[in-house]
Amino acid sequence: MIDLTTSYLDLPLKNPLVCSSSPLCQSLDSLQRMEDAGAAAVVLHSLFEEQIQQLSYDLDWSLNRGAESYSEAISYFPDMADYNLGPDGYLEHISQAKTLLSIPVIGSLNGHTRGGWVRYARLIEEAGADALELNVYDLPTDPSRSGLQVEKDLIDLVLEIRRGLRIPLAVKLSPFWSAPAELARRLCQAGARGLVLFNRFYQPDFDLERLEVVPSLHLSTPEELLLRLHWVAILYGHVDAHLAVTGGVHSASDVLKVMLAGGRVAMMTSALLRRGIEHLSCVLSDMRIWMEEHEYESVTQMRGSMSLLNVPNPNVYQRANYMKVLRSFA
């Protein structure tokens, strides 16, 4: 019998497939379908810092009706009403999801400053979430703000949130750090139990007819997995954190590669948007077939076997791979 069980953020999971944060998770019906199709856990859609601020502005407007600055200030925020339920509705959604599902429910906070993060991290815990994913979306556009300061701000944020939280905390990172391995180590020291690699930044595009900057959405492709595999394989065994991959996970082969690199779980959204939630069951079936054919008894047995720590030639994750690829193309 193939054993697919794993653990992530110290939560026992029946397999490594986790549905990542997306608008799909707004629907209780979709969450139930995810569990029925085999998902081992779900990360709910994010509560955005702007929504927390919006709530504060709404309260301020009610207390200071007629203030001229309100309408101008609020115009800078996108209308998030269609994305999710707002701060209070989000907490209720967590409570309802916990009542409905038997699998772990992980809350998600998305922002870039401390603001209401600490308070809402605690409220998400009180609503019943099994863990919290901190989705840091910080674009340091200020030329006077150094890389050291950006990293310090992140570490301080994790320290402050961890201080008031009892449930496990994961940090979802971007790939754009100067020294990801060192930052990962410091995040673990600050209290992060898990690291999610990597956040996908949605870059704006230009509309040449209207001369406007417009949003641009592209679902992930399997090619994006390679960067994630590279860094999970490097970090495995060198940081005290449970590693998760998000972005580029579309098939059983992708999930298996994540396990071999050293990941605890593989997170999936784009594949579900393309193929439907029931695609999860196909992925799990294909995983079992491959593991039987290759005589693996469990996910734990394969974890990290192709990481930097365990491969015969560690240079394949460093300069040797770069030179070999160039030579092979020539």
- Quote the crossing angle between the two packed helices 28-37 and 86-100, to the nearest 10°: 40
Cα(11)–Cα(271) distance, integer angstroms: 24
pLDDT for the residue 204: 84
Residue 24, Cα to own-chain centre: how many angstroms? 14
pLDDT at 77 over 50: no
| Least confident piece of the model among 5-19, 174-188, 195-209 | 195-209
> Tokens 């054919």 sit at which residue?
293
Letter for the amino acid at 99?
T
Q: Which residue has the higher pLDDT, 239 or 70?
A: 239
* Joined tokens for residue 160: 């402050």
Reported confidence tier of residue 58, pLDDT bands at 50, 70, 90:
very low
Q: Which residue has the higher pLDDT, 297 or 73?
A: 297
Reported confidence tier of residue 48, pLDDT bands at 50, 70, 90:
confident
pLDDT for the residue 252: 98
| Least confident piece of the model among 86-90, 171-175, 222-226 | 86-90
Cα(273)–Cα(20) distance, integer angstroms: 12
The CATH architecture to which 6-46+84-329 belongs is Alpha-Beta Barrel (3.20)
Reduced to 3 states, what is the DSSP secondary structure of residue 6?
A: strand
Residues 183, 136 contacting (CB under 8 angstroms): no
CB atoms within 10 A of CB 33: 18
Residues 249, 258 contacting (CB under 8 angstroms): yes
Average pLDDT (185-208) is 91
Residue 246: φ, ψ to 5°: -135, 135
Q: What residues form DSSP beta bridges with 7?
A: 12
Reduced to 3 states, what is the DSSP secondary structure of residue 185?
A: helix
Q: Which residue has the higher pLDDT, 323 or 280?
A: 280
Q: Which residue has the higher pLDDT, 195 or 199?
A: 195
Reduced to 3 states, what is the DSSP secondary structure of residue 47?
A: strand
Alpha helix positions (H), 64-168: 69-74, 86-100, 117-126, 147-163
pLDDT at 57 over 60: no
Q: Where are the chain's structural domains?
A: 6-46+84-329
Helix (H), strand (E) at residue 30? helix 28-37
Cα(59)–Cα(266) distance, integer angstroms: 40
